Chains A and B, each alone.
Chain A
Amino acid sequence: MNRIYLDNASTTTLSAEVLNAMMPVLTDTFGNTSSIHSFGRDAASLVDASRDTIANTINAKSNEIYFTSSGSEANSMAIIGIAMANRTHGNHIITSKIEHPSVLNACKYLEQNGYDVTYLDVDKNGFIRFADLIRYLKPTTILVSIMSANNELGTIQNLKAIAQTAHEKGAIFHTDAVQLYGNMTFDVQDIGIDAMTISSHKIYGPKGVGCLYLSNKVKIDPIIFGGNQERGKRGGTTNTAGVVGFAKACEIAYRDLRTNRHKLQELSNYFTTKLSEMVENIIINANVRQKVSHIISVTFLGVDGESLLTKLDLNGVAVSTGSACTSNSLAVSHVISAIGLNNDDAKSTIRFSLGKNNSFEELDEALNIIKKSVEELRVYSSTYGAKTRKRKGDK
């Protein structure tokens, strides 16, 4: 059975070029970057070069890149570290209801520790409302954290306008760019980003490494204590091979940006058009132009998302639900709920995320399997007929 991977927003395969860049580091350059001897200096020079590479892709300075173990760590570092370091200026933070759990849970932690957090609503496509942002900004607002592109919908926020609005009130702007970095050019100076999270394994790099871009103008407290690694902002021995692989993945992402974007757009258009033709009673969520093309959220009316996911998996197609699953109940995704889908539709939602290695032939095969699986599940769905009759009645 051929296996087709349509879950690239969860993680991507390791690129061969990246692996080639990492192998000599894994085998030969094993020194600790903090060591004074030549083994350590060799490793440190690789890490410095990697820092330069990544900084160049976003028009930042090398000393504004802090390596972490993941995007989640970088988000936690940004939210908690900035909030703590800027406590004397205020205790209010603004974020949105559709952020990654690493942002939301960091905010909850801060709430438990005396901070005040505002969670902005989003519209049906996942965009924050500027009127809300302006309304909730106050003199005590120290940080605005809004993700660049949503991991379930793909919606791209208007970062420049958010940054400008935050700055006008004296707030720092952080963005979780894990799903957008590598899919769009980034100029942190031009956009006005003060802090930005990037993850390696979303762009065909190794797992276990990410980074936080942090403007030199922004104060931050460490949340992981150790030696003087990452200029005292993040303790722990540097993952040299991971960092080198990460930088290589960044270099490739921007070297091939135009080609990959074009390919992903074509794949995405093909997939959504064919899916709409082949499977009736579906809703393509956040079907807007301002989104990353490779993330496609689809609601299959009358079909349980986890059952569809399992059936697709049994037939070789890997996707995600927009929901966290438990054995007997689907905890409805906070993102899908936030865009206003009702409980039934939310638990019928699947996320397809395409990658640069997918082919049209794979999509054709996947589409046939999706059609067959949805039809099988709808044959004995206890709600499908009633649901579609109701929809038609609504119109």
Chain B
Amino acid sequence: MNNTILNLFNNPTNAGRITKPSGIADNANFDNTAHVEFSIKVENNEIVDAKFRAQANPYIIAVCETIAEMAKHKTLDMLMIDDILVKTALNDDSDVDINFCIDCVKNAVSDYLEKLAKSNKQKA
């Protein structure tokens, strides 16, 4: 574990859950040894805040912290996060599968879009 990962694990700034989130989702890895949750706040089609909660090891917590930071201030159509971007930010060249974390934040966006579509339908 490098210092970037250790620092992000030990001082996460995006840990927690947003009160009244626009979208929320949770996910687990393939063997159910790590569980993560992302909540997002969306205003004018832009993610203005993203937070995570996790019961996972330090590496996954650092991954979630990075994803949350990357997601912030992106418009929904520009949320292009992949494992290469995240691992580059972490200065990490491991082959650890982190897609369940990335999928989780994308699922939070889907949750928001579903709610929005429902709400629009009701208005119509």
Q: How many residues of B contact A (CB 8 A)?
A: 31
> Among A130-138, A141-149, A199-207, A376-384, which stretch is in contact with chain B?
A376-384
Which partner residue on chain A sits nearest B100 by CB separation?
A328
Q: Which of A328, A330, A332, A382 contacts B54 (CB 8 A)?
A: A382
**Counting CB contacts under 8 A, is A62 at the interface?**
no
Closest to A315 in B: B10
Q: Is A51 an interface residue, CB under 8 A from the partner?
A: no
A384 contacts B33, C-beta separation under 8 Å: no
By Cβ-Cβ distance, the 6 closest A-B pairs, closest first, are: A380-B15, A382-B53, A306-B57, A328-B96, A329-B33, A382-B37
Residue in A closest to B32 when the chains form the complex, CB atoms = A343
Q: How large is the interface on A (under 10, 10 to 19, 20 to 34, 35 or more residues)?
A: 20 to 34
B55 contacts A302, CB within 8 Å? yes
Interface string of A299-335 (1 = CB under 8 A from B): 0001110110011001000000000010111101000
Contacts A328-B29, A329-B29, A382-B55 supplied; 15 other A-B pairs, CB < 8 Å: A304-B55, A310-B6, A310-B57, A310-B58, A314-B6, A328-B33, A328-B98, A329-B31, A329-B57, A379-B15, A380-B16, A380-B53, A382-B36, A382-B54, A383-B35
Question: A347 contacts the other chain (Cβ, under 8 Å)?
Answer: yes
Contact of B96 among A327, A347, A379, A384 (CB under 8 A): A327
Complex Cα distance, B34 from A348, in Å, reads 11
Write the B14-28 contact mask toward A (1 if CB under 8 angstroms, else 0).
011100000000100
- B33 x A330 contact (CB < 8 A): yes
Residues of A within 8 A of B34 (CB): 304, 328-329
Chain B residues with a Cβ under 8 A of chain A: 1, 6, 9-10, 12, 15-17, 26, 29, 31-37, 52-61, 94, 96-98
A348 to B33 alpha-carbon distance, docked (Å): 10
A307 touches B16 (CB 8 A): no
Task: Evaluate contact between B53 and A307: CB separation under 8 angstroms.
Answer: no
Q: Which B residues touch A306, using CB under 8 A?
A: 57-58
Contact call A330/B57, Cβ cutoff below 8 A = yes
Chain B residues with CB under 8 Å of A381's CB are 53-55
Residues of A within 8 A of B29 (CB): 328-329
Chain B residues with CB under 8 A of A348: 55
Chain A residue with Cβ nearest B31: A329
A228–B58 Cα distance when bound, in Å, is 50
Q: List 20 A-B contacts (CB under 8 A).
A: A304-B57, A310-B1, A311-B10, A314-B6, A327-B57, A328-B60, A328-B96, A329-B34, A330-B33, A343-B33, A344-B55, A348-B55, A379-B16, A380-B15, A380-B16, A380-B54, A381-B54, A382-B36, A382-B37, A383-B55
